[in-house]
Amino acid sequence: MTDPDGRRAELEARNAAMREQVSSMLEGLQRQTAQLHEAQASALSATGEATSADGLVTVRVNAVGIVTDTALSASALRSSTPEKLAKSFTEAAQSAARDARAKADAAVAPLQENVPDLPDLFPGAPSLSQLIPPAPEPSAPSTASKPAAEEDWDDFEPRSRFRKDRW
């Protein structure tokens, strides 16, 4: 025969251990949830900034790569053509977007290190990394399209829109 008091004490001890384990798991979940919220906020507030290689254009973007600010150097309009300036804008915007993406990825990377993938939990399930492909790299500027008429900007003189002669 088993001792009812001994069995009861054993069950109470196992119950207390299970409660402690569940309590510890809940605390860990709350800690991870708080870390996730912080990482998401950090990723969403990430910004990127880049200056074109020629130094003519600086672009700032938000976390998703949308341009929020642009700045031209003092000599940008004097020393460049519209085509070169457009390439500088594109180059700076793409670099700034890559910068913002890297900062956002870095904000959430620590949380993704120890997370098991679906096949680890459910054999035969597709990998999450395969479901969401990485963002494509921006393509190099096309050299195929040229403006219809090349203008000589060295001879450019600003003109007033108002006529100098009277009516």
Cα–Cα distance list, 20 to 13, 15, 24, 125, 156 (Å):
11, 9, 6, 32, 79
Confidence bin at 25 (pLDDT 50/70/90): confident
pTM score over 0.75: no
Half-sphere exposure of 15 (CA within 13 A, CB side): 6
Confidence bin at 100 (pLDDT 50/70/90): very high
Same domain, yes or no: 115 and 51 = yes
pLDDT at 68: 96
* Statement: residue 53 has pLDDT above 60: yes
Domain count for the chain: 2
Task: Give the CATH number of the domain where residue 98 resides.
Answer: 3.30.1310
Residue 14 domain boundaries: 8-45
Output 45 or 157, whichever has higher pLDDT: 45
Same domain, yes or no: 90 and 112 = yes
